[in-house]
Structure 1
Amino acid sequence: MCQITVRHANFNFPEQIDRYWYSNSPFKTHFFNSITLLFPDGEQFMLRTIKRQIKQIENVQLKQEASAFIGQEAQHAVQHEKFWHNLWQQGYKFDTYLRFLRFILFNVCEHHLSIKFKLAMIAGVEHFTNVIAELTLKEELFAEAEPIMKELFEWHAAEEIEHKTVAYDVFQSITKNYLIRLLGMIIAYTFILSFVSLGLVTMLYHDKKLLDVKVWQEMLQLFFTKEKIFLKVFSHSIEYLKINFHPSQRDNLFLIKRVIS
């Protein structure tokens, strides 16, 4: 069992940070920029859903963990949103993207999905982010990134691993239905991949690099040949399909020690 601690981070991103802060790679930079665009509202959706459910949680320890989860996710939202200022300063426009994202999250998902499906979706999202978090720390995914961005993503990754069981346990506290869990994962992965792709295309469009062959070579490196993110996420995600799956079964808590205390 891991003690979940709410830390009050305060990232300050220098305005002179490189446009392509990840190894001078437009694709890799914008892949993670698109995640930064997605996180703040995505985190708000999750913490609002969990917050509304907290009163229904009977297990005292889980209730405390859920409260700490809310605190951590709120910090993630605030810190990632700070970097939007840098993106605006660099000339990127993503208001339309944000309006569409918020419509899907708050008008569609929040208002029209049942609490069981919302929690199943959040559990699926948390599994996805836990997989990415493990890759981030285990393989030092941000070794070639700007130091401040490396610090941001590694801090976030460590806390994702720290609270990896909470959303799943909250979902399980109201239903252990395997089909709902599976559908929640499908919704979560579809949502994440769709909006990360949309954010990525938006950024590359502004840079006039959508037809740049080098950019798509960088995609192949990140997903399939060098970092192999796609293949590793796919193989790790299969674990979620097991009937007796639980996030605690994956031994990765040791990874957070060098990042947070």
Structure 2
Amino acid sequence: MSQITVRQKNFDFPEQISRYWYGNSVFKSHFFNSITLLFPDGEQFMLRTIKRQIKQIDNPNLKEEALAFVGQEAQHAVQHEKFWQNLRQQGYTFDRYLRWLHFILFNVCETRLNIKFKLAMIAGVEHFTNVIAELTLKEELFAEAEPIMKELFEWHSAEEIEHKTVAYDVLQNVTKNYLIRLIGIIMAYTFVLSFVNLGLIMMLYQDKKLLDIKVWQEMLQFFFSKEKFLLKVFWQSLDYLNINFHPLDRDNLFLIKRVVG
């Protein structure tokens, strides 16, 4: 039986959430706002790809886990998209960004990549999110965030860790080709980092903060000197290069108990 639980969440984001909800930090708030803009279509691309592959899976347990993966990712997409209303009420516009994201995911990746490379890309994204989820929970990364946003990102992180093996195992069910796996993670990291940075720049520009030196000082501290977020993500991502890698190699399942029991 699958150990992955599909939880029905219903976040209600109050209108009074601060514009800079992450400890009054412009940079960190917009960095994670950008991730929130990326998640819904990103999750839809992943769950659609895995869902279409389920009939081809010959392992009954993996098939169950893949169905649960689809259910969890659907919830993530819905709950993150709810926060868009708050961003719009604060005056941000991002429809053009969303159209470009949708085009790349569904008109390029979904229609032009074969199943092996789509699954390899998804497995790479899932490794990326698993590393970030582990940092989020282990270091209580959202301790300074407003409570509802802390709850959103910690719940999402816990479920990313809970289903961390699924995309990788579905890929392995189709192909165990190491080169395809490496190409997939390169595609994944290039895609995610490109769109997160594009969204960040868009939000800072609309706030007239793009040239604010304080914002970029916050970035340097968060990425390299204080939290060292980017350095940790990079170093902890390297285990994927091991030819015998498996997501279970990362001992982090214990972290989810505090969040989802």
Instruction: Bin the TM-score by the shorter chain.
Output: over 0.9
Q: What letter matches 1:15 in structure 2?
A: E
Q: Deviations over 1:54-100 (max 9, x none)?
A: 00000000000000000000000000000000000000000000000
For 1:72, the equivalent position in structure 2 comes to 72
Q: Percent identity?
A: 81
Q: What letter matches 2:123 in structure 1?
A: A
Q: Deviations over 1:82-136 (max 9, x none)?
A: 0000000000000000000000000000000000000000000000000000000
3-state SS, counterpart of residue 259 of structure 1: helix
Q: Deviations over 1:8-46 (max 9, x none)?
A: 001000001000000101100000000000000000000
Contact 2:2 2:65 in 1 (8 A): no
For 1:199, the equivalent position in structure 2 comes to 199
For 1:45, the equivalent position in structure 2 comes to 45
Total equivalences in the alignment: 261
Q: Does 1:81 align with 2:81?
A: yes
Q: Which consecutive segments of 4 or more residues in structure 1 shift more than 6 A?
A: none
For 2:102, the equivalent position in structure 1 comes to 102
For 2:151, the equivalent position in structure 1 comes to 151
3-state SS, counterpart of residue 144 of structure 1: coil
Q: What letter matches 1:260 in structure 2?
A: V
Q: Does 1:187 align with 2:219?
A: no
Distance, in Å, in 1 between the alignment partners of 2:222 and 2:108 is 32
For the aligned residues, what is the CA RMSD? Answer: 0.8
For 1:225, the equivalent position in structure 2 comes to 225
For 2:13, the equivalent position in structure 1 comes to 13
Distance, in Å, in 2 between the alignment partners of 1:249 and 1:19 is 39
5+ unaligned residues in a row in structure 2: which ranges? none
Q: What letter matches 1:189 in structure 2?
A: Y
Which stretch of the first structure deviates more once superposed, 1-10 or 137-146?
1-10
Q: What letter matches 1:28 in structure 2?
A: K
For 2:129, the equivalent position in structure 1 comes to 129
Could you tell me the TM-score, scaled by structure 1's length? 0.99
Distance, in Å, in 2 between the alignment partners of 1:120 and 1:257 is 29
> What is the correspondence of 1:155-174 to structure 2 with a 5 Å cutoff?
155-174=155-174
Distance, in Å, in 1 between the alignment partners of 2:227 and 2:33 is 17
3-state SS, counterpart of residue 211 of structure 1: coil
Q: What letter matches 1:16 in structure 2?
A: Q
Q: What letter matches 1:157 in structure 2?
A: S
Q: Does 1:236 align with 2:208?
A: no
Distance apart, 1:2 and its partner CA: 7.3
Contact 2:125 2:188 in 1 (8 A): yes
Contact 1:2 1:162 in 2 (8 A): no
Distance apart, 1:226 and its partner CA: 1.0
Distance, in Å, in 1 between the alignment partners of 2:207 and 2:225 is 25
Distance, in Å, in 1 between the alignment partners of 2:92 and 2:176 is 43
Q: What letter matches 1:56 in structure 2?
A: Q
5+ unaligned residues in a row in structure 1: which ranges? none
